[in-house]
Amino acid sequence: MSEIRVRNLSKGFRQYKSEWHRIANWLYINRAPAKTFWAVQDIFIDVSPGEAVGIIGRNGAGKSTLLKLLTGTMTPSTGEIQIGGRVSALLELGMGFDPELTGRENVYHASSLQGFDRGQIDERIDAIEAFAEIGTYFDAPVRTYSSGMQVRVAFAVATAWRPDVLIVDEALSVGDTYFQAKSFDRIRAFLAEGTTLLLVSHDRAAVQALCSVAYLLEDGQIRTHGDPKAVFEYYNATLSERDGVATVIEQQPDESGELVTRSGDASARIESVRLVNDNDVEVDLLQVEQRARLCITARAVQDIPEMVIGFEIRDRLGQPVFGTNSAYNEKVIEGLRAGATVAADFAFSANLGEGGYVVSIALHAGFDHTQRCYDWWDGAVSFEVVNSALPKFSGSAWLPTDITVMVDD
């Protein structure tokens, strides 16, 4: 069965003050206890056969260590890992490639390490070369490759045979957009055939498109897990956490049952958010190019030296479409007293493609919420964009276009 079961998994590294301290510990000579740094600690993960799970977190959160433990390149200090079936992993860029060997030679070497014999590789080598699409470089030394070319060959060989379990790290983010889309198409085909996927990525759209569950790793521990959209919003909230300032993160279901995230240190609160048309009537449906206003009211709970109000529009996959704030427009609000209220209107044209959108609102200091966040409200309002008056177009943005066509017989 192509499942992953992780129980109470931890990996610790001993830290010594000096080499003498290390040697004294080895020889049991008047040694002071070595400190232990836990790269990952008390990890529990379940991935069912055919399920796709995302792992997200900041740099240094323990993601790479976790993947090395899962792929067997590192031994756990405690805990148990059970993985069913054949595992194929695409981890660190170029890991296992010999820079002096050609791409073709590295394919034979890497495939043999996966347990395939010469005849099996001969049957797939042309398909691997075709999928990588690097032309004559396939027979050139890997040291001459760009990072994107290395990714192409590494992914092509890692997925030449459908694995039971596929583990993919951030390496794909190095590739170009075309190859990323091509790779994700292959991953989707594998998922449809029963492959289990573990994807580590900061790409919100990729995780939400491919995965049914996401885990947020922080300081080597799982902070939360669940629906990828909710986990990414929780992760976004943690980016504003600072020493000495408590950040409250709340996730409550809305009317549709979808989790909505609200976070901040509560120095100020968003009181209301309204999306209105030119007649000041609240709307949740806009025509392409229609003018609208986002009306926000906020209240200072404490004295605030500086407050910025902003919003961000996201599409149905959670990808940012447009965002701005009062700091970008040189309208920072200064010297607010506790109890003061602020009203801000953002007028814009809905030059957007057809589809559903959500709006997040933020009150913070500085140019973005990572400096200090007072209140961040994900999905404060939502709206739909339709097109019944303009020429048909595709994409997420409406760009008025003049077309000239000439025929010369």
DSSP labels for 50-66? Answer: T-EEEEE--TTSSHHHH
The SS3 assignment for 75 reads coil
pLDDT score, position 319: 84
* The two domains 4-225 and 244-386 share their CATH topology (first three levels equal): no
Average pLDDT over the chain, rounded to an integer? 89
How far apart CA 184 and CA 165 sit, in angstroms, is 15
Instruction: Read off the pTM.
Output: 0.82
How far apart CA 210 and CA 54 sit, in angstroms, is 8
Topology of domain 4-225, per CATH?
Answer: Rossmann fold (3.40.50)
**Residue 37 backbone phi and psi in degrees, to 5:** -95, 125
Residues 7-63 have pLDDT tens digits of 999 999 877 666 666 666 666 666 666 678 899 999 999 999 999 999 999 988 999
pLDDT score, position 245: 65
Q: Could you tell me the two tokens for 256?
A: 């549709």
- Running along the chain, 409 residues long, what does each successive block of 10 average in pLDDT? 88 75 62 78 93 92 91 92 89 75 94 92 96 95 92 92 90 78 91 93 86 94 93 88 73 80 93 95 96 97 95 88 94 94 96 95 90 92 94 92 91
pLDDT score, position 25: 64
In the block, tokens 């276009």 appear at: 401
Nearest partner of 103 among 82, 122, 125, judged by Cα: 125
Q: Could you tell me the two tokens for 115?
A: 């347990």
Topology of domain 244-386, per CATH?
Answer: Coagulation Factor XIII; Chain A, domain 1 (2.70.50)
Yes or no: say if 269 and 252 are a contact pair by the CB < 8 Å rule.
Answer: no
pLDDT score, position 290: 96
Nearest partner of 168 among 182, 154, 181, 148, judged by Cα: 154
The residue ranges of every structural domain in the chain are: 4-225, 244-386
Residues 387-402 have pLDDT tens digits of 998 999 999 999 999 9
E strands, 337-371, in order: 341-349, 355-365
Yes or no: say if 218 and 210 are a contact pair by the CB < 8 Å rule.
Answer: no
pLDDT score, position 19: 67
pLDDT score, position 237: 87
How far apart CA 143 and CA 151 sit, in angstroms, is 13
Calculate Rg over the CA atoms of the chain: 26
Give the burial string for 376-401 (b: 16+ CB within 10 Å, else e).
bbbbbbbbebeeeeeeeeeebebeee
| Residues paired with residue 87 on neighbouring β-strands, in sequence order | 165
